[in-house]
Amino acid sequence: MINNVDNLDQLREIIAREPRVVVLDFYANWCTPCQLLTPLLIDMEKFFLNKCLVIQINVERYPRIADAFGIVAMPTICFFYNNTFWKELTLTGAEIGTIYQNVNILLTMHDDGVPKPKRALRNNPEKSLDSVDYNKYYDS
């Protein structure tokens, strides 16, 4: 876990060279859900065995970084993979199960950004890949 990113340029540099899924945790010291989420994020890093990196950004200490992402509530969790910001996966709130799910989705992506279905077409061969709801097909 990294919690000493000083500016947006440094953050961009870390994200650009990082091969793992990067999870940005925007937090405030006074935020109780943020405090409860921190040890869970540490456990999540261990669970994914060096396949994800959590970076904590204190919104009061680094407001310019928070402003760059449009952060208005804490905790807010953002996801990057392959130097791409996955805005549609951004979460507000301490939903650790959804955070795990989003990391898993990113780790199981093809190079073209499409999730690899585990069982998506097994029972519905007539469906195209575009019409499959991938979330219900991921193995736990």
Q: Round to whole Å and give the CA distance between 117 and 137.
A: 7
CATH 3.40.30.10 fits 8-107, yes or no: yes
Q: How many CB atoms lie within 10 A of CB 38?
A: 17
User: Could you give the residue numbers annotated as active site?
Assistant: 31, 34
**pLDDT at position 137, please?**
40
**Residues 99-114: pLDDT tens digits?**
999 999 999 876 565 6
Alpha-helix residue ranges (DSSP H) falling in the chain: 8-17, 32-47, 63-68, 96-107
- What pTM value is reported for the model? 0.78
pLDDT at 80 over 70: yes
Q: What is the pLDDT of residues 25-55, one digit of tens each?
A: 999 999 999 999 999 999 999 999 889 999 9
Q: Which two tokens stand for residue 58?
A: 């204190």
The number of residues making up the chain comes to 140
Q: Residue 4's pLDDT is what?
A: 78
Where are the chain's structural domains?
8-107, 114-140
